[in-house]
Amino acid sequence: MTDTAILMPAPMPAAVIDALDRRFALHRLWEQPDAGAFLADHGAAIRGLAANTLAGRVDAALFDRLPALEIVANFGVGYDNIDARAAADRGIMVTNTPGVLDAEVADLTIGLLLATIRRLPQADRYVREGRWPHAPFPLSPTLRGRTIGILGLGAIGKQIARRLEGFDVRLAYHGRSRQADVAYDYHDTPVALATACDVLIAIVPGGGGTRHLIDADVLRALGANGVLVNVARGSVVDEPALIEALQSGTILAAGLDVYADEPSVPDALLALPNVVLLPHLGSASEHTRAAMGQLVVDNLTSWFGGHGPLTPVPETA
CATH of the domain at 232: 3.40.50.720
User: Can you list the positions of beta strands (E) in 107-260?
Assistant: 147-151, 170-174, 185-186, 199-202, 227-230, 253-256
Domain assignment present for residue 148? The answer is yes
Nearest to 55 by CA among 98, 11, 111: 11
Q: How far apart are CA 307 and CA 256, in angstroms?
A: 40
Predicted pLDDT at 8: 98
Does residue 191 share a domain with residue 299?
Answer: no
User: Can you list the positions of beta strands (E) in the chain?
Assistant: 5-8, 25-28, 46-51, 71-74, 93-95, 147-151, 170-174, 185-186, 199-202, 227-230, 253-256, 275-277
Does residue 93 share a domain with residue 199?
Answer: no
Does residue 258 share a domain with residue 301?
Answer: no
Domain assignment present for residue 282? The answer is no
The DSSP bridge partners found for residue 121 are: none
Does residue 255 share a domain with residue 132?
Answer: yes
Predicted pLDDT at 294: 98
User: Do the beta carbons of residue 142 and residue 165 sit within 8 Å?
Assistant: no
Domain assignment present for residue 61? The answer is yes
Does residue 175 share a domain with residue 226?
Answer: yes
* pTM recorded for the entire structure: 0.92
Residues marked as catalytic: 233, 262, 280
Does residue 154 share a domain with residue 233?
Answer: yes
Domain assignment present for residue 307? The answer is yes
Predicted pLDDT at 204: 96
Predicted pLDDT at 305: 97
Q: What angle do CA 214, 218, 221 make, to 5 degrees?
A: 160
Question: Could you list the pLDDT tens digit for every one of the 317 residues in the chain?
Answer: 689 999 999 999 999 999 999 999 999 999 999 999 999 999 999 999 999 988 889 999 999 999 999 999 999 999 999 999 999 999 999 999 999 999 999 999 999 999 999 999 999 999 999 999 999 999 999 999 999 999 999 999 999 999 999 999 999 999 999 999 999 999 999 999 999 999 999 999 998 899 999 999 999 999 999 999 999 999 999 999 999 999 999 999 999 999 999 999 999 999 999 999 999 999 999 999 999 999 999 999 999 999 999 999 999 98
Does residue 126 share a domain with residue 88?
Answer: no
Domain assignment present for residue 151? The answer is yes
**Which residue range forms the structural domain that includes residue 199?**
102-277
Does residue 86 share a domain with residue 24?
Answer: yes
Q: How many CB atoms lie within 10 A of CB 271?
A: 10
- The residues, any chain, with a CB within 8 Å of residue 212's CB and separated by 6 or more, are 235, 236, 237, 238, 241
Q: How far apart are CA 274 and CA 286, in angstroms?
A: 30
Q: What is the DSSP letter of 185?
A: E
Predicted pLDDT at 236: 98
Backbone angles phi, psi at 299, to 5 degrees: -65, -45
Q: Indicate the residue type of 55.
A: A
Backbone angles phi, psi at 96, to 5 degrees: -135, -165
Q: Note the pLDDT tens digit of each residue in 217-269.
A: 999 999 999 999 999 999 999 999 999 999 999 999 999 999 999 999 999 99
Does residue 113 share a domain with residue 25?
Answer: no
Predicted pLDDT at 55: 85
Does residue 109 share a domain with residue 63?
Answer: no
Q: How many CB atoms lie within 10 A of CB 201?
A: 27
Does residue 78 share a domain with residue 126?
Answer: no
Domain assignment present for residue 301? The answer is yes
Does residue 110 share a domain with residue 54?
Answer: no
In the chain, the number of structural domains is: 2
